[in-house]
Structure 1
């Protein structure tokens, strides 16, 4: 469905007829972006903000406990904690706190809003919401009972945008065009075999002009092999049963959010696989997982094993690793869990 531009008053009228529909679903059904939906209420509980990542992160250190939310089309990743151990960079900024762990790409942030909406009990729910130039959410921060509201309002004041007319210049995504010929299988394997750190993986793909999914299909089953669709539930169940500390990465164009630690409460509900732990909540649409892959990457400390989930568009939904520290080989129980998952074509019921 082609995206259409609706005036704010028309968006508000349509929204009034569907007040309980999830924002992302409402925007998709009405062929608008989520950013346009939020912006339509500027002056009515919504205040436009500058997407100034440095000011935001510096201010969030003062507000205390909040909930950080990062999502893509198929999974929502929520972490409760404080923004601490913040590092700024021109290309990427990082939050390395005990609970909130982020990699932020400021160039991708285009629009911001402070939102105040009453809950069903009448209590105000406060959030800071940021979007990319295509109108897709990159990161949200939700206030909690322990949030310092004086510091929150001070931060909103420092981020306030002078323009509050509710109109946005939304761009339409276009397919990325390869800059040149892609590498062949031999080149890929030679570079893959020479990896010494997982952080070298993305630069390797860029140098070889290969997409992530394309590389997994090309490299060979000793480094990447497809898993059965039922492997995802088995992966989470196994991590819970063995109390394995894991790392769960969820990202989009502008932000990657990471959970590090064990997972305790996994609750499937229809197509959703939910994690409902004290400081980590996750909601994964398993019906939107088109492919699951097990991946091995060499490092100077031995190879590192991960599971990667992809949607029908071949875009990465989620990555999961065993929790490890630099200079230490990965946990053998995590490696055994992944290597025991059923490969594609062999269901867990077989």
Structure 2
């Protein structure tokens, strides 16, 4: 499309938004006008443009393409438990600057696995983990970690897909209206299961009115001078499992990125934000098995395996494999770190707000050291000082 045509289209869309009568400018109408201007705009980005939450914008489709599902403390967990019957699905988890999509079948837990084999370090942790299990999703093709206390709204969405095939999905949101997790049905056998689930969990009140809470202000970091750095470093060096790291952050009251700054000597190496591209390109080239962790305050999704097709598309750096897609808006990345904890090397990238976007590990067998190829590859990632000297 020629530049002056694009400008005219954008101007027309802007005028449509501006000239809607005040009494008629409902959210639904403003969204329709915006879609006429930018038909490829994703729901999340449209919500930001219209200054509403994604859940509120999706709810404008209730009665047409969207069905509001029941709410309640245990409802999201029960819906996810029932979703295990859907068979092949696409599981989508995202945050502001990353999206992880995995197609596959979720693994079910055996009945005793919800008790046996859980982290028994503390009974409190064990009970918390039990509350966040939905009968499966631990390991396997669809590998998820839930924090159900942050889940609030649930919707079923049935609409024509880009390829003309009807898309059926379950979409979950937190109390602020931010996407927690989405599941798309990917098999004909899953359609009647989906329909039955929606009928069972259909909210008797199909209202688009949501009681969305405002996002709280980001808490300020504790001053470095108020942190017992020596004790933090000792505790870091005493970690026996990387899963203990979040407890360390809580114990010392520091943010994740602040801990990178205060880490013991040799435990953290800063790398450039765009090192994520080299990491994925080298992983593909060397055929390394990697783990990618991406999530939000409600859900973390994990991919384990090789990556193949990596490329930049539309301002995002992507993995575009048949059953695994990873989309990273690395222009929003501010920092990256190669981290050594409990004998394990990982790589983490943070955005300009200090939020963790994505982290990577090398796949290793239980009770065995991580592959040297992974350690060597991460050690070669570009550092800010090396880039500056070029």
TM-score, reference length from structure 1? 0.91
For the residue of structure 2 that corresponds to 1:290, the secondary structure is strand
Give the match for residue 22 of structure 1: 42
CA distance in 2, matches of 1:162, 1:273: 42
Give a deviation string over 1:27-67, Cα, whole Å, max 9, x none: 00110000000112211111111352332222122111110
Kindly state the Cα deviation for residue 159 of structure 1 after the two structures are TM-superposed.
2.0
Give the match for residue 28 of structure 2: 12
Question: Quick one: which of 346, 369, 374 aligns to 1:334?
Answer: 374
CA distance in 1, matches of 2:321, 2:221: 44
Verify: 1:343 aligned to 2:366, yes or no.
no
Question: Quick one: which of 230, 233, 236 aligns to 1:192?
Answer: 236
Of the structure 1 ranges 90-99 and 315-324, higher mean CA displacement relative to structure 2 is found in 90-99
Verify: 1:320 aligned to 2:360, yes or no.
yes
- Equivalent pair of 1:81/1:100 in contact (CA under 8 Å): yes
Report the number of matched residues. 341
Kindly state the Cα deviation for residue 7 of structure 1 after the two structures are TM-superposed.
10
For the residue of structure 1 that corresponds to 2:140, the secondary structure is coil
Give the match for residue 166 of structure 2: 124
Q: 1:63/1:215 Cα in 2 relative to 1: closer, same or farther (>3 Å)?
A: same
Kindly state the Cα deviation for residue 233 of structure 1 after the two structures are TM-superposed.
1.1
Question: Quick one: which of 59, 62, 68 aligns to 1:42?
Answer: 62
- Equivalent pair of 2:62/2:68 in contact (CA under 8 Å): yes
CA distance in 2, matches of 1:120, 1:289: 30
CA distance in 2, matches of 1:103, 1:348: 39
> Which has the larger helix fraction?
2
Give the match for residue 69 of structure 1: 92
Question: Quick one: which of 131, 136, 139 aligns to 2:178?
Answer: 136
Kindly state the Cα deviation for residue 162 of structure 1 after the two structures are TM-superposed.
2.2
CA distance in 1, matches of 2:221, 2:332: 30
> In the TM superposition, what are the counterparts of 1:241-256 in structure 2 within 5 Å?
241-256=285-300
Kindly state the Cα deviation for residue 183 of structure 1 after the two structures are TM-superposed.
2.9
Give a deviation string over 1:59-114, Cα, whole Å, max 9, x none: 12211111000000001100001122247645422612421000011100000100
Kindly state the Cα deviation for residue 277 of structure 1 after the two structures are TM-superposed.
1.1
Q: 1:221/1:14 Cα in 2 relative to 1: closer, same or farther (>3 Å)?
A: farther
Structure with bigger gyration radius:
2
Kindly state the Cα deviation for residue 122 of structure 1 after the two structures are TM-superposed.
4.5
Kindly state the Cα deviation for residue 165 of structure 1 after the two structures are TM-superposed.
1.1
The CA RMSD measured in Å over matched residues stands at 2.3
Q: 1:178/1:191 Cα in 2 relative to 1: closer, same or farther (>3 Å)?
A: farther
Of the structure 1 ranges 173-182 and 100-109, higher mean CA displacement relative to structure 2 is found in 173-182
Give a deviation string over 1:119-148, Cα, whole Å, max 9, x none: 356432111100000110010001224452
Verify: 1:227 aligned to 2:271, yes or no.
yes
For the residue of structure 1 that corresponds to 2:62, the secondary structure is coil
Verify: 1:267 aligned to 2:290, yes or no.
no
- Equivalent pair of 2:249/2:256 in contact (CA under 8 Å): yes
For the residue of structure 2 that corresponds to 1:337, the secondary structure is helix
Structure 2 residue ranges without an equivalent (≥5): 1-21, 115-128
Of the structure 1 ranges 256-265 and 181-190, higher mean CA displacement relative to structure 2 is found in 181-190
- Equivalent pair of 1:64/1:146 in contact (CA under 8 Å): no
- Equivalent pair of 2:67/2:156 in contact (CA under 8 Å): yes
CA distance in 1, matches of 2:360, 2:389: 23
Structure 1 residue ranges without an equivalent (≥5): 1-5
Kindly state the Cα deviation for residue 177 of structure 1 after the two structures are TM-superposed.
4.8
Question: Quick one: which of 80, 86, 89 aligns to 2:103?
Answer: 80
Give a deviation string over 1:155-191, Cα, whole Å, max 9, x none: 1122222221111111112235579885321011010
- Equivalent pair of 1:9/1:40 in contact (CA under 8 Å): no
